[in-house]
Structure formats: structure tokens, C-alpha cells
Chains A and B, each alone.
Chain A
Amino acid sequence: MATKAGTLIHGPGERYVAPGTLVPPRGERYTGAIITDKIADLVLVRPMHRGFYIGFIVTTAFTLLFLVAISYLFATGVGVWGVNQPVAWAFALTNFVWWVGIGHAGTFISAFLLLLRQHWRTSVNRFAEAMTIFAVAMAGLMPILHLGRPWFAYWLVPYPDVMNVWPQWRSPLIWDIFAIATYIIVSIIFWYMGLIPDLASLRDRARSRTKQIAYGLFALGWRGEARQWFRFETAYLLMAGLATPLVISVHTVVSLDFSFGLVPGWHSTIFPPYFVDGALYSGFAMALVLAIPLRAIFRLKDFITVDHLSKMAILLLVTGEIVFYSYVVEAFNAYYSADAYEIAMIKIRYFGPYAPISWSVILCNVLIPQALWSGKLRRTPLALFCLGLVVLLGMWLERFMIIVASLERDFLPSSWHMFYPTFWDLATLAGSVGAFAFMFLLFLRFLPAISMSELRKEAREEPIRASA
């Protein structure tokens, strides 16, 4: 029996299902029942919104473009991209670093803020974790696409093969496999574990047999028994404790891919903290870009409040300032080292052929985000949304600047060669953004975007009041 909006199901009056209208009177508290009904009905009753349809069509188109770009690449070879010597690493690696970085803020929000007992994370952790998984999925694809012979990707994994060849344990590229694989597995487990009680809520609330069975299977038979909860909370806290150092290690390993190389512009000890911070910076930007339409379209403004956005904006500002500091130190270190190649690298970066990119980085990552010092702006969702997009663009350009502009000038001037992207470079980037958004929309359609069980507890300790 399907549930229609505005019908009384059975039992006490609180089982009234009316999507969009499940809001207590202004100023009243949200009870556990209303929180559950409101968030569960976004999935179970699915009030369709025109914006959702349009978004779905557009992202499906880009996902198909992504598949076409990958198929053409696999059929033809990496020559379809603009890569060559000396710039053998370009878009694929830039996308890789950018996507991994975006994922990091999700883990930071869900794990690190849990350890710090920042209760406001409750409203944003679920979709931030989903963002992590989809971003890391996109990131994980990029190095494989880039391999040239992607069907041999499994050679990176240690297994007893007849060739008697082992991976090179002393290479950060091998560490990458372990770091990224661990990261995606731990992110999925952490996310799924948090979902189990919510899937049980969906199972119990679903009225159609298909949904009951589907959600019921994934809820694994969760009954909310006190001992189950106790072990669940212990395991969840332990996972948070494990995910926090993990997230830092992952981008450290990513940065070592570069800093282990002797290329001026890469070979620098500042890279691990610089990359980890840049990762969080782009990740908070993405979290804002996703949260702002989400709360507007699905009417979740009482749960994801302006306070939440403002707190994320402060984190964006802090990480942005550290990024700025890193740029300064990087330039300073080049001069302080008195190494001719390092100094030349900085000059080329800011005054050479890629200077427009580098100055755009400064504009997007350093100058424009200074607007966040304004408290009023931090409470204006539209401004934060635009700023998030600017930072995402800036962070992509930053990775491009580090990777491509450093490679373009080889040690021998005879090797110098500019990189220009081809259509397929751009299609891969645009397609990955589309595929990410596509998966995120599917997530919103099938799974609760906010943790119901955590919010029920939170609402009891600290009242969530209706604003309208």
C-alpha cells in the first residue's frame, strides 16, 4: 500500500503523513517523531521538485559524457589527452588531487568534529560523508584512467604472481593504492554504519512491501536494543578515532607523490600540511555548495541552519588563511634555499606562460575569500554558495598550477613544452563533476540526507525549534 501525501495511516494522530507540512508551529520543538517523519518522507514519499528533475537530467547527460570520454580513452590511449613529455601529468592527476581533497572535509566533519564533541555536525555529517564517498570514487578512477594500460591496474596490488614481481614498496605511488583503497573502504563502512539505525527507521515506516524488504535487508535486522546501541556507539567512536588520522595520512601520501620527485615546485617539505589543508579548504567549499541548495529544495532549513553554514564558513576562512600562508612560505623557501631552479620555478609560476592560472589561484583562494571576515556575509547563504564555487575553482587551478606549471619547464630548456588540454581532457573533468552530482542526487532520493537517530538524540538534549 503506497502512502499518499496527506493521509492518516493508523494509530495516534502523530502518524500523519504530509510531506512539506511536517513542521511544528513556529517556535515549537521538533520531537523525535516529527524529525523521523520529515526526513524519512523525503525518501519514502518523495515529493518531486522541478529543480530535482532538471538537475537529474543535466547530471545524467554529463555522466554519459564521462562514460564516452572513458570509453574513447580506453579504446585509443592517453594520446587523446594533451599530455606529452615533459608534462606527462596534467588533468587526470589534477582531478585526482582535487577530488580526494574534496572528500576530506566530509571525513573531517563526521569524524574529527565528533571527537571534538561539536554537536552541530549532527545535521551535516550524513551528506558530507556521502560527498566523501562519491568524491573519492571519482578520485580513485583518475589514476587508473591515466595508467595508459589500465587493464594492468591490479599490478599495483601485491599478490603472488607467476612473474615473481613485487610492487616497489619504496614508492609513494604504491602507498597511494593503500591510502586511497583504505580511505574509500573506511569511508563507506563509517557511512553505512551510521545509516543502519536510519535504514531501520525507513524499514519500519515504509508502507510498500518492496521498500520494506529493500530497506529491511540493508538495516540488517537492527532493533535498537540497548546493548546493540552500546556496541554501536563504541564502534562508531572508534571508527571516528581511526578516520581522523587516516584522512590526514591520505592527503599526505598524495602530496608525497609529488614531493618525492626532484621537480622544482614539487620537491618541498611543506607539501604534506599544505596539501591536507588545501584538501579541507576545497572540501568545506564543496560541503557549502551542496548544503545550501539541499536545505532550500528539501525544506531542511530548521535542521541545517544559518548557524551551521556560518560555522562551515569559519572553517573555510581558517583553512583558506593557512593555504595563503603556504603560498607565501613556498615562495619564501624558494628564495631562502638560494637554489637557482627553485627560484626560477617561482618566477615562472607567477610571471611565465601559466601566470594567468597562478594569479587566478591567488584571486580565488586568497583575495575573494577574505570577504568571509564579514559576519554578515557568513550568514548569507547565496554569497556562501558563490564563494564555495569560487574556492572550488581556485583549488582546482591550484593543483593544475602545481602539477603542470612545474613540469612544463624541465631542467633542459630544449625539453620545455606547453600543455594544452584537448576536448577529452575537459570532457573527463566535466564528466566527473556530472557523475559526482548524479550519484549525490541518487543518494538524496534513496537515503536519508540527515542522520535521524543522531538528530533525535540531539533534539532532546538541545531543542531544535521551528523557524517558520
Chain B
Amino acid sequence: MIYALLAEFAGPDELLDAVKQARRHYEDVDAYSPYAVDGLAEALGMRRNRVPLITLLGGLIGGGGIYFLQWYSAVIDYPINSGGRPLNSWPIFIPPTFELTILGAALAAFFGMLLLNGLPKLHHPLFNAPEFDLASRNRFFLGIRATDRRFDPTLTRQYLLGLDPLRVVEVPE
């Protein structure tokens, strides 16, 4: 079983061009780079990024939760009349609310990013691919997955070679 065919490129511009071309013929296209290449995710057809929404929700849960806790403890569970001041003394509840809004949002941003990225993952077929260890160093890879409906081991390899890569390798499942 084949997981994908990988084409290796020397630079980000070559990869970006290749991705734009490959996207015209194939749908299940992936790209791998040693650093974030601007415009690459968009070229791959990524339109929705849910990280900001998850972060917002995390912040609201964190801030809302601690405000509720303060209100509950000060108004319902253990009210103390301190010089006739209001029990729900909201301005003084703000500092913990602020801190936990940040904490909730930060935790959500981090774990949301991991979750959406499918991490952590102990193993992945790509790690068996020769030279793929260079994807975290100086090489750029374009992958066409075997799940693509137009995928054909021979024809897709021919197609990838036409994009002028350094080499094309097969990634076993």
C-alpha cells in the first residue's frame, strides 16, 4: 500500500509553484516545509482556521468561570457585609477574571492548535520516507496522497517529475 508520492524541492518558491500547479489536477495535496511559508496553506485550499474561535471560547470560559466563582462565593455561599458595600463588588473581581481569561484563551489556543493539527501523533507513514528528515532542515516536499481519486502510482509519478523536483519518492503506508 502506498500512502503518498512525495516530490522534493530545494526552496519555498519552487514548492509554492508546484503546489499551485498540482492543485489543478489533484485534491489531496499536502506540502511540508522547514518553516512557515506564506501563502502555502491558502494555495492548498485551506480556507477555515478555527484556532481564533477556539481561543475566544477558551477565554470566555476562563473569565466567565472565575467571575461566576467569585460571585457565587461572595454573594450566595458566604456573604459578608463589609461596611454596607455591595456583595457583588465587580470592580475588585476583575483582576482574577482578567488573568483567567488569558489563561483560558492561551490553553485553548495551544491545545486547539494541537487538536486541529492532529497532534500528538506517535507515528506517521511519512517518517519512513527517505530524506523526509530534511523537511525540518532545508528541504520542501509536495505530497499527493493515494486517497486522491485521480491518483495512479505511475501517472502521478510522471506528473510530479514534470514539476521539476529534485526527486520523487514513494511513501509506503
A contacts, CB < 8 Å to B: 11, 14, 31-33, 36-37, 158, 164-166, 169-170, 172, 174-175, 178-179, 181-182, 185-186, 189-190, 193, 197, 200-201, 203-205, 220-235, 238-239, 242-243, 245-246, 249, 253, 256, 453-454, 456-457, 460
Q: Which residues of B contact A245 (CB under 8 A)?
A: 98, 102
> What per-residue 1/0 map shows which CB atoms of B111-148 lie under 8 Å from chain A?
01110110111111011000111111110000000000
Is A201 a contact of B136 with CB atoms below 8 Å?
yes
Q: Is the CB of A227 within 8 A of B41?
A: yes
B109 within 8 A of A: yes
Most chain B CB within 10 A, of A220, A235, A246, is at A235
Docked complex Cα distance between A193 and B108 (Å): 13
In the complex, are the beta carbons of A166 and B32 less than 8 A apart?
no
B43 CB contacts on chain A under 8 angstroms: 226
Quick check: is B160 within 8 A (CB to CB) of the other chain? no
A224 touching B103, Cβ below 8 Å: no
Tell whether A231 pairs with B113 under 8 Å between CB atoms, given A170-B92, A238-B52, A238-B105: yes
Question: Could you show 14 A-B contacts with beta carbons less than 8 Å apart?
Answer: A32-B34, A175-B96, A178-B99, A182-B102, A197-B35, A204-B136, A224-B34, A228-B119, A230-B40, A231-B113, A238-B109, A242-B105, A453-B35, A460-B12
Contact between chains at B135 and A220 (CB < 8 Å)? no
Residues of B within 8 A of A165 (CB): 78
Residues of A within 8 A of B92 (CB): 169-170
Of the residues A158, A223, A460, contact of B124 by C-beta under 8 Å: A223
Cβ of B18 < 8 Å from any Cβ of A?
no
Contacts A220-B121, A235-B110, A457-B35 given; does A169 touch B93 at CB 8 Å: yes
- Interchain CB contact (< 8 A) of B99 among A201, A221, A249: A249
A-B contact count (CB 8 A): 190
Tell me which residues across on chain A come within 8 A of B163, comparing CB atoms: none
Structural contact, A224 and B33, CB atoms closer than 8 A: yes
Which residues from A are CB-within-8-Å of B46?
Answer: 226-227, 230
From A178, A201, A242, give the contact of B137 (CB < 8 A): A201
| Residues on B facing A (Cβ under 8 Å) | 12, 19, 30-37, 40-41, 43-44, 46, 49, 51-52, 55, 66, 69-70, 73-74, 77-78, 89, 92-93, 95-96, 98-100, 102-103, 105-107, 109-110, 112-114, 116-117, 119-124, 126-127, 131-138
Contacts of A164 in B (CB 8 A): 77-78
Min CB distance B159 to A, Å, is 19
Asked if residues A249 and B52 are in contact (CB atoms below 8 Å), the reply is no
Give the docked Cα–Cα distance between A231 and B40 (Å): 12
